[in-house]
Chains A and B, each alone.
Chain A
Amino acid sequence: MGQAARVYALSIIGVLWLSAVLADEAPISGNLKVVDPAASTLTIETTSQGKTRQVTVEIKPTSRIVRFVRVGTSFEEQRVQLTDMKPGWVVSVTTRHEDGREVAEVVKIIFER
């Protein structure tokens, strides 16, 4: 392999690596419509640009589900199990693409009702 080819190969690898690092997913927020512990998924009704749609997010063992609990004048994260979640809650979820699916990284509970 010539020097030029090596430089190009490294460039392409660099581009791919940087893309993976920088192309983070913006959070999805909305109402929980379905909690499916058997399938380990949450379905969220979310609206943007005037369109409402439902997004199903997979919960993996690495995913964190948290609520915020007041401790004095600040808040602490408290882990929540998928089975404890209820439809109607307002959540915000950061996700990553994985094999064409949305996989949750952190699910933040905004409002429980």
Chain B
Amino acid sequence: MKHWWYVPLALVTLAVGVWVTNPPALRANGEDKHEIEEVGHAHVPAPLEYADLLMPPSVWTDQAMIARGKEIYAANCAVCHGEHGDGKGPAGQALPLKPSDFRDRHAVAEMRDNYWFWRASEGGTVEPFKSRGSAMPPWKGTLSVEDRWAVIAYQHTFSGHQGPHVPWEHPEMVQMGRDIYRMACVPCHGLDGRGDGSVGPTLSPNRAPQPRDFTAGLFKLRSTPTGELPTTADLFRTVTEGIRSRGGPLTLGLSGYRIMPSFRHMPEEQRLELVEYVKSLNQEFWARQDVKTVPVPAPPPETPERIARGRQLYADAECWTCHGRSGRGDGPSAPTLKDQNDFPITATDLTEPSRFKNGKTPQDVYRTVMTGLTGTPMPSYEGALESEDAWDVVYYVLSLSPHANRSRHAGGDEGPQTPQ
């Protein structure tokens, strides 16, 4: 056969032609086809405004809630997520971002409850889902909080898991945060978060502050009323800013008089993952139904009259007994102060705002005055001081620093920049 090689040549040409002319099909909006095979779940932390919206553990197994969720699911979700939760509903088939398959127990185990609630509330209107072409509607305007909990509880049943969907049932939820914790936090806070790491106690031998025991539920730096657990944003702020202090010889390596380093350099997503792990060490975070914070109103203008009133309030409230007449932390009670573990604790030197543990902006100091520092002798003045009075005290305290006006008006030096 004279031209036998024509046939293989034609086949090769055909194959090359198909390969060249059939690149990933382009969408009208420029996305290539490979990207459209993704499913709707991504392991990303819920943003701070959703981070404290944890589902009460009892909801997951509450048959009435599950039945209520089933009805809502059938009416609103099944068309995309499928009657059996497999993500194969008729409307979901052609979506660029495939609806989540709730039968995938590994993927479901990774989904934290606040993430799940965030997804149900905002749908595909938020990143990273928006950029990936999610068509999921936001349900927050249509379904009440309880309705969303109910439908999530029903969706959870598809995974086959019988108990509550919480980190102590599914450690996968906080795996990333735990890995970060083990690399960054164990030396001070210990493997189990009990504040018993090998390095921490040496920073301030036999004195407060000692590394936090996350399992005990006593958190100093909060925006919540005294004795309550902090918000996720509070924990995030502490991780971001670190904790400033009078320091000591062993804290010289930590910049800015910090006794806990700042993790500002860590990507925000990782800090959020870390905080989610820290929360998982204390089940009480899931027991609270409503997270209330002590409001920090907009600061009024600083005036000499306000500072003078603050000076009087400082005297009347006997702040001087600990902090001293001149605010240097040398009041008559200062040598006797102890924390909740009976460790001696120093009264804060108010002339050094850059070393305030809870931040040095007027809002930070206001928050400290009104919430107190749980586990220390510093009480909460919420209820004892009106807001205007508290601002007077704040401005008086900040006036005690010789550099107060200059640093405040210049936007501060290296002190914490607290998001408000």
| A interface residues (Cβ-Cβ under 8 A, vs B) | 3-4, 7-8, 10-12, 14-16, 18-19, 22-30, 46-51, 53, 55, 57, 68, 70, 73-75, 77, 90-92, 94-95, 102, 106, 108-111, 113
Contact = CB atoms under 8 A, between A and B. Distances in A.
A23 B96 contact: no
Interface string B119-150: 00000000000111101010000100000000
B10 A11 contact: yes
A26 B33 CA distance: 6
A66 B350 CA distance: 69
B27 A48 contact: yes
A47 B131 contact: yes
B17 A75 contact: no
B184 interface: no
Given A27-B96, A75-B90, A111-B137, 18 more contacts: A3-B6, A7-B7, A8-B10, A14-B14, A15-B18, A18-B17, A19-B18, A19-B22, A23-B21, A25-B28, A26-B33, A29-B94, A48-B31, A48-B131, A92-B94, A110-B80, A113-B137, A113-B142
Instruction: Report whether over half of chain B's contact residues are helix, strand or loop; otherwise say mixed.
Output: loop
Given A4-B3, A22-B22, A113-B137, A55 B95 contact: no
- 4 closest Cβ pairs, A-B complex: A15-B17, A48-B31, A29-B135, A19-B21
Given A15-B18, A73-B83, A92-B95, A28 B90 contact: no
Contacts of A111: 135, 137
Given A18-B22, A23-B22, A7 B6 contact: yes
B27 A25 contact: yes
A49 to B, nearest CB: 6
Contacts of B21: 15-16, 18-19, 23
Nearest to B21: A19
B79 A75 contact: yes
Interface residues of B, number: 40
Contact of A24 (B25, B31, B91): B25
A94 B94 contact: yes
A26 B36 CA distance: 8
Contacts of B6: 3-4, 7
Contacts of A11: 10, 13-14, 17
A90 B99 CA distance: 14
Contacts of B83: 73-74
B74 interface: yes
A25 B6 CA distance: 33
A68 B90 contact: yes
A30 B27 CA distance: 13
Contacts of A74: 83
Contacts of A19: 17-18, 21-22
Contacts of B74: 70
B28 A28 contact: yes
B249 interface: no
Given A27-B96, A68-B79, A48 B29 contact: yes
A112 to B, nearest CB: 9
Contacts of B36: 26-27
A3 B3 contact: yes
Contacts of B95: 27, 29, 92, 110
B18 A18 contact: yes
Given A27-B95, A94-B94, A48 B30 contact: yes
B412 interface: no
B100 to A, nearest CB: 15
Interface string B85-126: 000011100111000000000000000000000000000000
9 contacts: A15-B13, A22-B18, A51-B30, A53-B30, A68-B90, A70-B75, A70-B79, A90-B137, A108-B90
A33 B195 CA distance: 55
